Amino acid sequence: GESVGLHLPTLSVQEGDNSIINCAYSNSASDYFIWYKQESGKGPQFIIDIRSNMDKRQGQRVTVLLNKTVKHLSLQIAATQPGDSAVYFCAEQETSGSRLTFGEGTQLTVNP
């Protein structure tokens, strides 16, 4: 069936480095992609989103890139901080649907 998955389950970086978290999706009908951050014991928190008619979107210290040709999504975090340590999920949503389909998640650890 359709799925959204992540290439790496864990990522460890040094404080101040840039982080890149990748995600592959298989549903060509997906129109909307979102990155969520989940800290231990909390619900997912919205970070940034991107529509399928875009290939790049920037927020504060974060950038999402979308490559529809290879069905690939990435989240770039600039100057990673210890507070960025969390599990990051990508999620996709079809144009006509309302449910979110989540990937497995990547555990980001930022070392001081």
Partner 1 sequence: GAGVSQSPSNKVTEKGKDVELRCDPISGHTALYWYRQSLGQGLEFLIYFQGNSAPDKSGLPSDRFSAERTGGSVSTLTIQRTQQEDSAVYLCASSLVRGPLGEQYFGPGTRLTVT
Q: Are 18 and 78 in contact (CB under 8 A)?
A: yes
Report, in Å, the least distance between residue 17 CB and partner 1.
Answer: 25
Residues in region 53-72 near partner 1 by CB under 8 A: none
Nearest CA to 93 out of 84, 102, 85, 82 is that of 102
Report, in Å, the least distance between residue 30 CB and partner 1.
Answer: 9
Say whether residue 102 binds partner 1 (CB under 8 A).
yes
**What whole-number distance in Å separates Cα of residue 47 and Cα of residue 50?**
11
- List residues binding partner 1 (CB under 8 A): 31-32, 34, 36, 41-46, 49, 51, 89, 91, 93, 95-105
